[in-house]
Structure 1
Amino acid sequence: DAARDAIAEAEKAKDMLKKGPGIQPVSWPTPKEYVRMLKARQYQEGKFHFAVAGLSGSGKSSLVNAFRGILDRNMKAAATGITETTSVIGRYPDPNPERPFIWYDIPGAGTLKTPDWEYFNQQGLYIFDGIIILTDNRFTATDIAILRNCARWNIPSFIVRSKSDQHIQNLEKELKEAIEERPPMMKNVEGSLKGFGAPH
């Protein structure tokens, strides 16, 4: 059984960490906690369970809707908004019966005030078959913490960049402004060079 194998691997890793010099032991969920989390997340054998995690406002709900082929305004869509909309983990089975996927919209993480493994455990991220980390304009310590724990649990993880169109527009605007500022700046430099008698 996959759950028993995962628990055995977790116990093995925990023992290795305790033996390491100067390494703080990571708290792993007990077998009872693991099974309780499977039930809480309504884990179904034979399905692939993907968590979409990232900072508040990065577009997690919209990505879940896109994966499911549902528009944000659809009644069955994950709720989206300008502010953080997700406060509890949302579970969204794929509407196409040909695709055995269940998508989970994880509430946005802020700055971690707890050890990274604790956040990972509290959210129950260790039960997922894959974790997608959604990042917009910068990669954060929270994103790294999730990736570190995915590696610890041998969970496949994927990094997805959101809002890249907005980032490209911002870069284009900055570049255009820099080009427009160049002629007056060049005249100032030439004037300064002339004033010092330097070739220009």
Structure 2
Amino acid sequence: MIIEQRNFGECSGPENFRRGGCHIPAMQAILLGRTTIGERALDVSRAIDIAADMPFADTDRIGIMGNSGGGTATYYASCTEDRIKALMPSCAFCTVEDSIFSISHCQCNFMPGMLKYFEMADLAVLLAPRPLVVVYGKKDNIFPEHGVLKAYEVAKEIYKKFGAEDKIRLVPGDEGHRFYEYPSWDVFREVTGW
């Protein structure tokens, strides 16, 4: 199943892009006490509701993958949705300090007060021991490699405490901000056994 995220394509409406992409809907969500990323995580849960009702669904093998904003939605949706059994965020997993805190990003990435309580990698405690494959580009200019590596080390330690160090992997790509199909899917299959 492919989900079109809020504020993109048909889920944004033609007027939105003339008004500034994600900016206005992200600010509207904040004014209503929500965040765009929270709304996207909810959309993932609703999509799983639909998929789980299909006669051919194998709810023991629900995996999620996304790149960039989709990778961010992948990560946060998996933190709140335990029906997701494996995840592969791409070009999204990084320390907040080294990415959205210090580099210009779309407002859809922000959660008010987040850094007072946790960094992105700290949330791996909500994911372990489920398989986690982190994909990144070595030359990504908005989720820089040094921040990815720092975050990965924190998440890896969390997985180790769960006795699941074999369930977390890092897949670097040689270029920038894009999905690296090979070897990512091979690593995903290896870690999940699917």
Q: TM-score, normalized by length of structure 2?
A: 0.30
Q: TM-score, normalized by length of structure 1?
A: 0.29
